[in-house]
């Protein structure tokens, strides 16, 4: 019965084995149940076939395609069960043992457990580090951290967006302050060295000497190499700035000790929980407890999350984070992280083997930045062709791009395909698909007759006389689907999956 009660509503009907429990649930709405409460017991498929069908279509898309978006991953059945649980009903503003509402006995137990597991997963000494597990996402974790560390209009520095940084690290354009991190604070980006395409630590130190930031943020969304935290710490110390690492992309690899640890040198570390860490969509903020004014930092972080930036914690999500962290602390997760990196290296080698250019020539982590400019293509065109083939990637700026509007590259990541069990030999197949996608993009660009994206999309999606690109896209789509459907999809019994109505072919 309990299993029926925690059944996540977000699974396709046939994917899990709950059908007779569902029947039990329905009989719970008895003759005494007033009409206004009957919907509370009706399964999604019956109550809302429209939403159910959308979920089924999305499940089918994930099953039949290849997910290479570097920020995505496939979370576990256990995390999805926790996320779809009764915990979603509970308000618990405040912290364990200091809540604004009653009834939080078990929620306190959960949050304390989640915090303990977060420290364990990252090998942190509870005397030296604390953690707030309530942030709704990476962006809110970052804004809460900024709120805690610096005052409105104080200066901060982060890696520029076109160089792989994140929006929340102070991004602005000539015309517009784009994010809260540049609206409420004064920000200055640092950059990559154009020659090495690595972080220009010397340039950062020189800018910081003049700009005098109160906070330096490191970490990125599109940087294929590891970070030199010791050097960053020297600069931060010299200028009297806080050093914060946002390891949203790489936290799973950091937990698995396959990358440098930011915890040795940083004051605060933020992360998402749904990228390489493979949990539900949320964020974490770690803070040092061994500084001079440590109690003050802990209070500032906690107050910044609630009440400054958020309301009630999402306890269902915190349960899912806890169960993801339990997994991340196992030796098997280390094997997963190593495989993610081995797969990214194989992908990089496969593409270089076909003669393509990668930013920095390769990778140390889960992602690859592919510079398409030498072959005369844009990221948008290749993203479009891949989408039509069932391979999900994203266009991305590459170092030296003239225009942010027309990114010259794409970003690829191996976290999700590794979660579908793919190993090096399989990744070579994926790399060859990408090679064919790019060669096909060149054919389509020729057939489009112009360099415009809209003409490119037209020849890729409509059969025109005497042109062969469209049919080739369709054929590749079939091949990708035949390959992708050989692999399992966590949380779903794929042997029972059937194609839902309304799929766009």
Ligand X SMILES: *Cc1c(COP(=O)(O)O)cnc(C)c1O
Catalytic residue positions, numbered: 91, 93, 246, 272, 275, 281
**Binding span for ligand X by CB under 6 A among 241-249, 302-310, 346-354, 415-423:** 241-249
Please give the angle made by the CA atoms of 326, 329 and 334, to the nearest 5 degrees: 130
Q: Does 71 bind ligand X (CB under 6 A)?
A: yes
The minimum distance between CB 221 and ligand X, in angstroms, equals: 4
Peptide bond into 458 cis (omega under 30): no
- Selected from 12, 94, 130, 138, the binder of ligand X by CB under 6 A is 138
Q: Does 99 bind ligand X (CB under 6 A)?
A: no
The minimum distance between CB 244 and ligand X, in angstroms, equals: 11
Residues near 490 by Cβ (< 8 Å), separated by ≥ 6? 74, 75, 76, 77, 419, 420
The minimum distance between CB 209 and ligand X, in angstroms, equals: 25
The minimum distance between CB 304 and ligand X, in angstroms, equals: 16
**x/- string (CB under 6 A) for ligand X, residues 261-280?**
-----------x--------
Distances (CA, A) of 335 to 83, 99, 276, 280, 351: 25, 39, 13, 20, 24
Nearer of residues 158 and 408 to ligand X, judged by Cβ: 158
**Binding span for ligand X by CB under 6 A among 134-142, 341-349, 367-375, 480-488:** 134-142
What is the C-alpha to C-alpha distance for residues 265 and 244, in angstroms, rounded to an integer?
Answer: 9
The minimum distance between CB 143 and ligand X, in angstroms, equals: 9
The minimum distance between CB 18 and ligand X, in angstroms, equals: 30
- Selected from 75, 104, 168, 181, the binder of ligand X by CB under 6 A is 168
Nearer of residues 137 and 350 to ligand X, judged by Cβ: 137
- Pick out residues in 432-491 that bind ligand X (CB under 6 A): none
The minimum distance between CB 270 and ligand X, in angstroms, equals: 7
Q: Does 139 bind ligand X (CB under 6 A)?
A: yes
Q: Are 82 and 491 in contact (CB under 8 A)?
A: no
What is the C-alpha to C-alpha distance for residues 287 and 284, in angstroms, rounded to an integer?
Answer: 10
What is the C-alpha to C-alpha distance for residues 275 and 438, in angstroms, rounded to an integer?
Answer: 26
Nearer of residues 222 and 448 to ligand X, judged by Cβ: 222
- Selected from 124, 133, 157, 248, the binder of ligand X by CB under 6 A is 248
Nearer of residues 182 and 272 to ligand X, judged by Cβ: 272
Beta strands in 17-101 (DSSP E): 66-67, 94-95, 98-99
Q: Does 83 bind ligand X (CB under 6 A)?
A: no
What are 395's strand-pairing partners? 410
Q: Which two tokens stand for residue 367?
A: 């992602």
Q: Does 219 bind ligand X (CB under 6 A)?
A: yes
Half-sphere exposure of 442 (CA within 13 A, CB side): 10
Half-sphere exposure of 305 (CA within 13 A, CB side): 27
- Selected from 7, 99, 115, 166, the binder of ligand X by CB under 6 A is 166
CA 18 remoteness from chain centre: 30
Residues near 30 by Cβ (< 8 Å), separated by ≥ 6? none
Nearer of residues 12 and 413 to ligand X, judged by Cβ: 413
- Selected from 137, 260, 365, 418, the binder of ligand X by CB under 6 A is 137
Helices (H) and strands (E) in the chain, counts: 19, 15
Nearer of residues 168 and 310 to ligand X, judged by Cβ: 168
Q: Which residue is nearest to ligand X (CB)?
A: 138
Nearer of residues 170 and 390 to ligand X, judged by Cβ: 170
Nearer of residues 162 and 219 to ligand X, judged by Cβ: 219
Q: Does 249 bind ligand X (CB under 6 A)?
A: yes
Q: Give the DSSP letter string of 279-325.
A: --S-EEEEEESSSTTHHHHHHHHHHIIIIII--S--HHHHHHHHHHH
Residues in the chain: 505
Torsion of CA 209, 213, 218, 224, to 10 degrees: -50
Q: Does 221 bind ligand X (CB under 6 A)?
A: yes
**Binding span for ligand X by CB under 6 A among 148-156, 214-222, 301-309, 386-394:** 214-222
Q: Are 99 and 106 in contact (CB under 8 A)?
A: no
Nearer of residues 186 and 272 to ligand X, judged by Cβ: 272
- Selected from 56, 81, 200, 246, the binder of ligand X by CB under 6 A is 246
Say which DSSP state 267 is in: S
The minimum distance between CB 459 and ligand X, in angstroms, equals: 34
The minimum distance between CB 281 and ligand X, in angstroms, equals: 6
Q: Are 174 and 201 in contact (CB under 8 A)?
A: no
| Count of residues engaged in binding ligand X, rule: CB under 6 A | 14
Q: Are 377 and 451 in contact (CB under 8 A)?
A: no
**Interface ranges with ligand X (CB under 6 A):** 71, 137-139, 142, 166, 168, 219-221, 246, 248-249, 272
């Amino acid at each position: 019965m309990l299993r029926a009660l925690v059944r996540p509503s977000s699974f396709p009907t046939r994917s899990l084995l709950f059908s007779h429990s569902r029947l039990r649930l329905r009989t719970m709405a008895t003759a005494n149940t007033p009409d206004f409460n009957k919907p509370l017991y009706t399964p999604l498929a019956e109550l809302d076939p429209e939403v159910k069908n959308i979920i089924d279509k999305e499940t089918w898309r994930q099953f039949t395609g290849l997910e290479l978006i570097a920020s995505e991953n496939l979370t576990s059945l256990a995390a999805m069960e926790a996320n779809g649980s009764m915990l979603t009903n509970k308000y618990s503003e405040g912290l364990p043992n200091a809540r604004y509402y009653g009834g939080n006995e078990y929620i306190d137990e959960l949050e304390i457990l989640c915090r303990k597991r977060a420290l364990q997963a990252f090998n942190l000494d509870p005397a030296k580090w604390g953690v707030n597990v309530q942030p709704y996402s990476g962006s809110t974790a970052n804004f809460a951290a900024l709120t805690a560390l610096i005052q409105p209009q104080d200066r901060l520095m982060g890696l520029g967006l076109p160089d792989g940084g994140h929006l929340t690290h102070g991004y602005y354009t000539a015309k517009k302050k784009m994010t809260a991190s540049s609206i409420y604070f004064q920000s200055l980006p640092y950059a990559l060295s154009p020659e090495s395409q690595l972080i220009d630590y010397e340039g950062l130190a020189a800018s910081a000497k003049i700009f005098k930031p109160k906070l330096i943020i490191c970490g990125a969304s599109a940087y294929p190499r590891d970070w030199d935290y010791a050097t960053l710490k020297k600069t931060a110390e010299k200028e009297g700035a806080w050093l914060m690492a946002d390891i949203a992309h790489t936290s799973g690899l950091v937990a698995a000790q396959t990358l440098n640890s930011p915890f040795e040198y940083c004051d605060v570390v933020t992360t998402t929980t749904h990228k390489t860490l493979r949990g539900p969509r949320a964020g974490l903020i770690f803070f040092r407890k061994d500084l001079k004014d440590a109690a003050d930092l802990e209070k500032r972080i906690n107050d910044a999350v609630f009440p400054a930036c958020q309301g009630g914690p999402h306890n269902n999500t915190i349960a899912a984070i806890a169960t993801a962290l339990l997994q991340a602390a196992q030796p098997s997760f280390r094997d997963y992280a190593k495989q993610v990196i081995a797969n990214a290296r194989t992908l990089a080698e496969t593409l270089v083997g076909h003669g393509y250019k990668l930013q920095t020539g390769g990778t140390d982590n889960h992602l690859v930045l592919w510079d398409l400019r030498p072959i005369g293509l844009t990221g948008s065109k290749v993203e479009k062709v891949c989408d039509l083939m069932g391979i999900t990637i994203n266009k991305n700026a590459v170092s030296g791009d003239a225009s942010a509007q027309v990114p010259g590259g794409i970003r690829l990541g191996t976290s999700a395909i590794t979660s579908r069990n793919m190993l090096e030999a399989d990744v070579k197949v994926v790399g060859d698909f990408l090679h064919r996608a790019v060669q096909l993009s060149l054919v389509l660009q020729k057939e489009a007759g112009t360099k415009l994206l809209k003409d490119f999309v037209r020849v890729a999606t409509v059969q025109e006389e005497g042109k062969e690109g469209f049919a080739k896209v369709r054929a590749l789509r079939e091949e990708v689907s035949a390959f992708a459907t050989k692999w399992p999809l966590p949380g779903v019994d794929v042997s029972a999956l059937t194609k839902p109505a309304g799929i766009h072919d």
